[in-house]
């Protein structure tokens, strides 16, 4: 009996390896197609932008209108819009299927070969994958927040350094712009306030908010506009805007905004 279990376990292990290779191939194929379509789309947009007014005239000419409403053109435009969006979702789904299927089979083969007392279910691997993805997204978000924080701190530091130089020795300052050590600096305060208040508006919170209200508002808005739940055409765009707003409204930026406003009064 144990011998048969080991044979079955080795067969399942080999099957898991084959399935893993098949999934890797499918993921590579679809990733290549999506990347190719996105690359071609960027090239076309660049060519259209370079054409400028000439392109506009061509589009409104009889030939341009005929080409624009040609079924092949419509299908091409549709593919350039749909494939990058749905393709990435499909690739993510393939990665999810690969993980839960192969990990389940590897665990089952180990159970049969080594005589483990139990093996995990599909649901357990599904939960584990989602937890891993949430952890990955959290780390990526924290890294983006860290980089953005450093960028703002550097801009404010350079501006303060320029102001100190301008007051203490010499320099040039006019309408919020200045030159120092051969470089031109602009007061980042106005841009920071604008981005901060726009982020608050997107999440539906007051500029005088705190980090806890921001987190609550983000959960509500993210659930409302998540592309998997909201089928509106602009759901993906709105969801990304909400994520960007949440990443910007860190505890440090909330305090910086309050300090700026306090100093202005």
pLDDT in tens, 72-119: 777 777 777 778 878 888 998 999 999 999 998 988 888 888 877 666
Q: Could you give the 3-state DSSP secondary structure of residue 174?
A: strand
Backbone angles phi, psi at 186, to 5 degrees: -125, 140
pLDDT at 232 over 50: yes
Task: Count Cβ atoms within 10 A of the Cβ of residue 75 and give its class: 0-12 exposed, 13-18 middle, 19 or more buried.
Answer: exposed
Burial call 59-74: b when 16+ CB within 10 Å, e when fewer: eeeeeeeeeeeeeeee
Average pLDDT over residues 19-39: 92
Cα–Cα distance list, 203 to 65, 189, 216, 221, 241 (Å): 41, 21, 9, 7, 9
Pairing of strands 172-174, 183-186: unpaired
Tell me, what's the pLDDT at 1?
60
- 54: tokens are 């000439």
pLDDT digits (tens, 9 = 90+) for 16-26: 999 999 999 99
Tell me the C-alpha distance between 97 and 215, whole Å: 31
Name the most confidently modeled range: 46-60, 201-215, 227-241.
201-215
pLDDT higher at 59 or 111: 111
List 186's β-bridge partners, or say none: 177
Min mean pLDDT across 1-5, 136-140, 255-259 is at 1-5
pLDDT at 171 over 50: no
CB atoms near residue 182 (< 10 Å): 5
pLDDT at 29 over 90: yes
């Amino acid at each position: 009996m144990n011998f048969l279990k080991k044979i079955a376990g080795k067969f399942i292990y080999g099957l898991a390896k084959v399935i893993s290779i098949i999934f890797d191939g499918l993921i590579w194929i679809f990733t290549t197609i999506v990347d190719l379509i996105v690359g071609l789309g960027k090239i076309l947009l660049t060519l259209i932008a370079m054409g400028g007014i000439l392109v506009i005239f061509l589009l409104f000419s009889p030939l341009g209108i005929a080409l624009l409403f040609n079924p092949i053109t419509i299908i091409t435009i549709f593919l350039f819009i749909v494939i990058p969006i749905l393709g990435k979702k499909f690739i993510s789904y393939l990665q999810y299927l690969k993980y839960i299927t192969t990990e389940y089979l590897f665990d089952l083969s180990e159970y049969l070969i080594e005589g483990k007392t139990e093996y995990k279910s599909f649901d357990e691997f599904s939960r584990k994958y989602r937890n891993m993805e949430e952890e990955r997204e959290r780390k990526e978000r924290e890294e983006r927040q860290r980089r953005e924080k450093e960028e703002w701190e550097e801009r404010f530091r350079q501006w303060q350094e320029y102001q100190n130089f301008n007051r203490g020795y010499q320099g040039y300052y006019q309408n919020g712009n200045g030159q120092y050590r051969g470089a031109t600096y602009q007061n980042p305060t106005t841009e920071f306030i604008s981005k901060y208040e726009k982020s608050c508006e997107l999440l539906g919170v007051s500029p005088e908010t705190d980090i806890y209200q921001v987190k609550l508002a983000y959960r509500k808005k993210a659930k409302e506009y998540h592309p998997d739940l909201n089928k509106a055409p602009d759901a993906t765009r709105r969801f990304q805007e909400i994520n960007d707003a949440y990443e910007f409204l860190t505890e440090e930026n909330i305090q910086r905004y309050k300090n700026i406003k306090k100093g202005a009064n």
